[in-house]
Amino acid sequence: MFGPYLKRWKLVPDGAAIHTHSSDLLPVLYAGQPAMLKVTRSDEETTGNHLMVWLGGHGAARVYAQGGEAIVLERLHSEPSLTEMVKAGQDDDATRILCRAAAELHAVSRLEHTPPPPLPDLRRWFRSLERTAALGGVYATAWSIAQELLNDPQDTTALHGDLHHGNVLHSPARGWLLIDPKGLVGERGFDYANIFYNPTNADALRPGRLARQLEIVCAESGLERARLLRWVAAYGGLSAAWWLEHGDGQYSEARKVLNIVELALAALSVSG
């Protein structure tokens, strides 16, 4: 699978291959520089590759080459990691890093720059929650909130779409950088919502954690508290809906996510 790209871009293998549910990756050298060859099997990730090219290394890993389903990226370090920072009691610092990574991506849309590549509208993703809303309860509430947000978008921009602790990695020379965007267009608040569900459900459900991260994200992003909480609730409903769509007895995973949605709804009720 890697052979044609190694030849095309004169890449030298530099480590063991990594295989995920959607992509195959190989550490390589590109013109003598450490890089990562990624070959995706997902249309969604191919769209994300186009967004990476457009970002031009602004707040993101640099793209050395790209074509079709393959991309060659600046190789970043797995350590230090934001997940390990959370484990070490530095949750607040990790959240600030994620917020600044999101802000840098969103800022690219406001610069004098070529238009972004064609990206799907965020509304398309929420079709899953719309279908699941028929179950009632928290799903219906989350869908109602999502509809209000989607029908009255603010600060529309290119979105990462999957901003979490594993998708911001470190470069000793350039600091913390984004990888693996899904690539969407929508309100910037959506990109911050996933932070509240990561790195694990246990972290998200720690007493006082949501309130603390809400304070930090609002301070870093300038987002209004109640609107951010609505995005947190809407995103959580969508995430739970995706778990149900996976099938294979994923109800328990969906329920874990809904526990966090309920915290957001309770906080929203108090703030409202």
**Where in the sequence numbering do the catalytic residues fall?**
162
CA-CA distance, 60 to 74, in Å (whole number)? 9
Distance CA 130, CA 139 (A): 9
The residues, any chain, with a CB within 8 Å of residue 227's CB and separated by 6 or more, are 149, 154, 189
